[in-house]
Amino acid sequence: MSYLIDTDIIIYSIKGNKSVQDNFLKNENIPKSISIITYGELLFGAKKSQNIEKNTAVVLRIKELFPVINIDKAIIEIFSELKADSHKTGNIIDDFDLLIASTALTMNSILVTNNEKHFSKVKGLEIENWAK
């Protein structure tokens, strides 16, 4: 078992969310990673912030703590299936969210997110919400 940590959970942890921090401690021995999409979203947030240097340093530290999973052929194949299915059913999901979900499915990881509403639409995706 492993966890893929979504962007919102990383942000909650940085901001001191007790539930998230407790869950990180409780699951400290279970492998965790982030998607390249999460890394990009975190960097974007740092670059648009008022304290660019400090926040960029935090993101770079996160990259050291969590392996960053790049998008590869297997992830894109799952992504294209999920996107086609979402268009057929009318349950359209944002491409970045679909790429994160595809990464979790490909890596056989549990996605840790507070965004259960969007990700629950993805068939077969196991989700845990550490912010509750």
Q: Does domain 3-128 have CATH number 1.10.150.50?
A: no
Task: For residue 49, give every residue at least 6 positions away whose Cβ sits within 8 Å of its Cβ, in sequence order, or none.
Answer: 55
Say whether 94 sits in a helix, a strand or coil.
coil
Instruction: Please state the rounded mean pLDDT for residues 51-64.
Output: 97
- Closest Cα to residue 86, out of 36, 117, 122, 41? 122
Rounded Cα distance, 25 and 18, in Å: 10
Contact between residue 93 and residue 125 where contact means Cβ atoms under 8 Å apart: no
pLDDT for 118 equals 87
Amino acid in position 114: N
Q: Specify the pTM.
A: 0.95
Q: So where are the chain's domains?
A: 3-128
Tokens of 26: 């409780």
Rounded Cα distance, 40 and 111, in Å: 17
Q: Is the pLDDT confidence value at 23 over 90?
A: yes
Instruction: Please state the rounded mean pLDDT for residues 107-111.
Output: 98
Give the H or E element holding residue 13: helix 7-14
